[in-house]
């Protein structure tokens, strides 16, 4: 349970009432909402405000702080692709424990720096952090948790009115923080007919979307996607159905439960696999800290020029040179050439498996570091600098197409799954449950009343029973009855030139279609992906939006009522 799980009555909305509190609404309280609340607690702990403060947290999920993505009740086979050593909610040791420290107390068997822990366990940690933050905030403000979904935001003279799913109207909010995260997941339920291309339009939550009644045992399943979401879906349809994996020597084998589909056909536009996340303790890599600092400083200097930067001509060459130097230090050459070749690669089933095996062997130290490792490591190490230089229109307009191609591929090369999940996927491929015959395939009508997956060339189409969409929605995707949709329809949100998310300024204020800044509303997280690079992270220090928001709230609390924000 949370510290406060009740609705606290608010003072009447009266602009002439001298003691009226500053009213804040936080819509969505997964990690991004939690980061902002923690920064507000930090500001309020330092000094007193001039006005009292009411904070309403709108979060329908059972565990605020964790949200839907890190729901503590999800299956434990759904794992992080981010090692435990990198996860720390707090800016100071005095504020709370790192994930590793918390694991040592609550889950000691998982307390390893290189451990890729279940997302459910990380959700427990985040929810515990939320409880700590709320306890701190409650010393300075009235805090209420409302377990309700928000369907709309209406701008009024005195601020914002919030409309909830039940039709309730919460009036006269001075500041709204919109942190709805992966709202596109909630864009609809699984349809049971063939009027839409997917009878299972999204994967999460897997226990509901991929249950035995949604995807029948013995059925043939086509799976759009071969990334992290697709791997989660494959595990849900196998290990989640009672199948088990065992490791014999260095080989993983799968024991079916007979509750699985008969076959799963993954497919995507490129058909290229995600590569295993390296385990640094197992690899033999020379010290490269100075090298990464050298190239990061080059990117920082570009950012300081205060002009739009050309990605292909100015940024990408720095990344490639860093990768080349790292590979040369490890005894290899050709990092840049490998990446360009990969962009054009359309692997066969055999090549897909070979690439995945190679990445596992490099990640575990069986093979020496190769070009794939060097390119991925350069992108990972330089990513904080890339966030600074690219966010908030750091690129010139013509750079976006090339950047999107490179960034999309780097999701596969640099931010892939843990080794364990790669080994599980390989075992499912080897036993025939996952069939790679249609890697760059397509799904369409087959006969009068069925659908099939077909190859662009080669194998004949195969009839399928279920079609699963295992690709995450675009950052701008939203629930048709959600707050993002209502704001977009009103012209309060403008799509970003990158094709991802919406435009916001450095403080997270949305830029309207009229080109004006929307006051009293802050947008953070995945819906801002075009303006802010790298939102899918549990590193609160990667971005400064949460600190900017907290400082804005604190300053507003010091101003007389009615002052401009």
Query: Residue 529's CB: how many other CB atoms inside 10 A?
Result: 21
Model confidence band, residue 451 (pLDDT cutoffs 50, 70, 90): very high
Segments making up each domain of the chain, as ranges: 28-81+120-184+478-558, 197-274+419-469, 284-347+365-413
Kindly report the backbone phi and psi dihedral angles of residue 535, in degrees, each rounded to the nearest multiple of 5, phi listed first. -75, -25
197-274+419-469 in CATH: which number?
Answer: 3.50.50.60
3-state secondary structure of 324: helix
Query: Residue 440's CB: how many other CB atoms inside 10 A?
Result: 16
Give tens-digit pLDDT for 28-43: 999 999 999 999 999 9
Residues 55, 58, 63: CA angle, nearest 5 degrees: 110
Query: To the nearest whole number, what is the mean pLDDT of the chain?
Result: 90
Model confidence band, residue 48 (pLDDT cutoffs 50, 70, 90): confident
Among left, alpha and beta (phi > 0; psi -120 to 50; other), residue 508 is left
Model confidence band, residue 198 (pLDDT cutoffs 50, 70, 90): confident
**pLDDT value of residue 545:** 93
Give tens-digit pLDDT for 68-88: 999 999 999 999 999 999 999
**pLDDT value of residue 267:** 96
199-203, 381-385, 406-410, 458-462: segment of lowest average pLDDT? 458-462
Among left, alpha and beta (phi > 0; psi -120 to 50; other), residue 489 is alpha
6 vs 179, residue with greater confidence: 179
pLDDT surpasses 60 at 194: no
**pLDDT value of residue 11:** 41
**pLDDT value of residue 16:** 45
Predicted TM-score of the model (pTM): 0.91
93-97, 156-160, 192-196, 456-460: segment of lowest average pLDDT? 192-196
Q: How far apart are CA 539 and CA 469, in angstroms?
A: 28
**pLDDT value of residue 450:** 87
Q: Which of 152-156, 368-372, 495-499 has the highest mean pLDDT?
A: 368-372
Q: How far apart are CA 334 and CA 42, in angstroms?
A: 47
pLDDT surpasses 90 at 3: no
**pLDDT value of residue 557:** 86
Domains 28-81+120-184+478-558 and 197-274+419-469 share a fold: yes
Model confidence band, residue 166 (pLDDT cutoffs 50, 70, 90): confident
Which run of H or E residues covers position 208?
Answer: helix 206-209
**pLDDT value of residue 98:** 96
pLDDT surpasses 50 at 101: yes
28-81+120-184+478-558 in CATH: which number?
Answer: 3.50.50.60
Kindly report the backbone phi and psi dihedral angles of residue 34, in degrees, each rounded to the nearest multiple of 5, phi listed first. -65, -45
* Dihedral of alpha carbons 338, 342, 348, 353, sign: positive
Q: How far apart are CA 209 and CA 202, in angstroms?
A: 7
Strands 251-255 and 263-267, by their bridges, are: unpaired
Q: Where are the beta strands (DSSP E) in 99-236?
A: 142-146, 150-156, 159-164, 169-173, 175-178, 220-224
* Mean of pLDDT values over 244-262: 93
Q: How far apart are CA 299 and CA 386, in angstroms?
A: 7
21-30, 225-234, 300-309: segment of lowest average pLDDT? 300-309
Residue identified by tokens 């990344």 is 319
> Smallest Cα–Cα separation from 32: which of 72, 77, 70, 75?
70
Q: What percent of the chain has pLDDT over 90?
A: 77
* Mean of pLDDT values over 352-363: 97
DSSP-derived letter for residue 12 is P
Model confidence band, residue 185 (pLDDT cutoffs 50, 70, 90): low
> Smallest Cα–Cα separation from 46: which of 540, 522, 520, 557?
557
pLDDT surpasses 80 at 183: no
> What is the token pair recorded at 94?
């005095």
Kindly report the backbone phi and psi dihedral angles of residue 190, in degrees, each rounded to the nearest multiple of 5, phi listed first. -70, 120
560 vs 547, residue with greater confidence: 547
Q: How far is CA 523 from CA 155, 302, 493, 545, 546, in A?
A: 15, 27, 10, 9, 10
> Smallest Cα–Cα separation from 483: which of 89, 263, 181?
181
Radius of gyration of the chain (CA): 24
* Dihedral of alpha carbons 543, 319, 361, 256, sign: positive
Q: How far is CA 559 from CA 49, 402, 542, 553, 563, in A?
A: 9, 45, 30, 10, 6
Q: What percent of the chain has pLDDT over 70?
A: 93
Give tens-digit pLDDT for 259-296: 999 999 999 999 999 999 999 899 999 999 999 999 99
pLDDT surpasses 80 at 500: yes
pLDDT surpasses 80 at 316: yes
**pLDDT value of residue 457:** 73
Which run of H or E residues covers position 301?
Answer: helix 289-303
* Mean of pLDDT values over 171-189: 77
Model confidence band, residue 15 (pLDDT cutoffs 50, 70, 90): very low
63-77, 178-192, 384-398: segment of lowest average pLDDT? 178-192
**pLDDT value of residue 549:** 96
3-state secondary structure of 390: helix
Question: 465: burial class by Cβ within 10 Å (0-12, 13-18, 19+)?
Answer: middle
Strands 244-248 and 251-255, by their bridges, are: antiparallel
Residues 286/329, Cβ–Cβ less than 8 Å: yes
190-194, 294-298, 348-352: segment of lowest average pLDDT? 190-194
Q: How far is CA 293 from CA 147, 290, 296, 382, in A?
A: 45, 5, 5, 9
Model confidence band, residue 481 (pLDDT cutoffs 50, 70, 90): confident
**pLDDT value of residue 189:** 42
Q: How far apart are CA 358 and CA 362, in angstroms?
A: 6
């Amino acid at each position: 349970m949370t510290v406060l799980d009740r609705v606290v009555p608010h003072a009447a909305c009266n602009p002439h009432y001298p003691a009226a509190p500053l009213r804040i609404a936080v819509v969505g309280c997964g990690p991004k909402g939690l980061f902002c609340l923690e920064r507000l607690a930090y500001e309020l702990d330092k000094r007193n405000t001039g006005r009292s403060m009411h904070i309403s947290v709108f979060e329908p999920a059972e565990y605020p702080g964790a949200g839907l993505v890190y729901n503590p009740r999800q299956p434990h086979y759904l794992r992080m692709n981010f090692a435990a050593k990198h996860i720390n909610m707090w800016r100071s040791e005095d504020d709370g424990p790192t994930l590793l420290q918390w694991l040592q107390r609550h889950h000691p068997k998982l307390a390893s720096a290189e451990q890729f822990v279940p997302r459910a366990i990380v959700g427990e940690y985040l929810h515990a952090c939320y409880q700590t933050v709320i306890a701190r905030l409650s010393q300075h403000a009235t805090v209420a948790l409302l377990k309700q979904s928000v369907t709309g935001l209406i701008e009024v003279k005195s601020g914002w009115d919030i409309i909830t799913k039940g039709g309730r109207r919460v009036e006269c909010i001075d500041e709204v923080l919109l942190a709805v995260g992966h709202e596109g997941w909630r864009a609809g339920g699984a349809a049971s007919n063939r009027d839409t291309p997917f009878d299972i339009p999204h994967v999460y939550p897997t226990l509901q979307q991929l249950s035995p009644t949604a995807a029948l045992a013995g059925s043939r399943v086509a799976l759009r996607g071969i990334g992290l979401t697709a791997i989660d879906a494959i595990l849900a349809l196998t290990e989640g159905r009672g199948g088990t994996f065992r490791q014999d020597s260095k080989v993983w084998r799968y024991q079916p439960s007979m509750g699985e589909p008969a076959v799963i056909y993954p497919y995507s536009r490129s058909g290229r696999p995600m590569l295993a996340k390296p385990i640094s303790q197992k690899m033999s890599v020379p010290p490269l800290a100075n090298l990464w600092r050298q190239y990061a400083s080059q990117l920082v200097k570009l950012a300081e020029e205060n002009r739009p930067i050309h990605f292909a001509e100015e940024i990408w060459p720095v990344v490639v040179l860093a990768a080349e130097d790292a590979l040369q230090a490890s005894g290899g050459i050709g990092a840049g050439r490998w990446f360009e070749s990969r962009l054009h690669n359309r692997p066969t089933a055999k090549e897909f498996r070979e690439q995945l095996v190679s990445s596992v062997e490099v990640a575990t130290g069986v093979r020496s570091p190769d070009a794939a490792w060097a390119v991925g490591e350069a992108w990972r190490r330089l990513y904080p600098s890339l966030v600074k230089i690219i966010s908030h229109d750091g690129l010139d307009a013509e750079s976006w197409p090339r950047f999107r191609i490179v960034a999309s591929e780097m999701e596969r090369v640099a931010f892939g799954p843990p080794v364990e999940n790669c080994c599980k996927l390989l075992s499912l491929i080897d036993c025939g449950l996952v069939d790679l015959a249609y890697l760059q395939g397509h799904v369409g009508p087959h006969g009068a009343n069925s659908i099939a997956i077909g190859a662009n060339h080669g194998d004949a189409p195969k009839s399928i029973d279920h079609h699963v969409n295992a690709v995450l929605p675009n950052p701008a995707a939203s629930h048709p009855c959600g707050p993002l949709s209502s704001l977009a329809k009103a012209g309060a949100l403008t799509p970003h030139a990158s094709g991802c998310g919406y435009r916001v300024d450095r403080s997270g204020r949305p830029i309207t279609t009229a080109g004006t800044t929307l006051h009293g509303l802050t947008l953070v997280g995945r819906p801002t992906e075009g303006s802010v690079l790298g939102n899918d992270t549990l590193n609160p220090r990667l971005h400064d939006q949460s600190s900017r928001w907290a400082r804005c709230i604190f300053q507003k609390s010091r101003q007389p009522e009615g002052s401009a924000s």
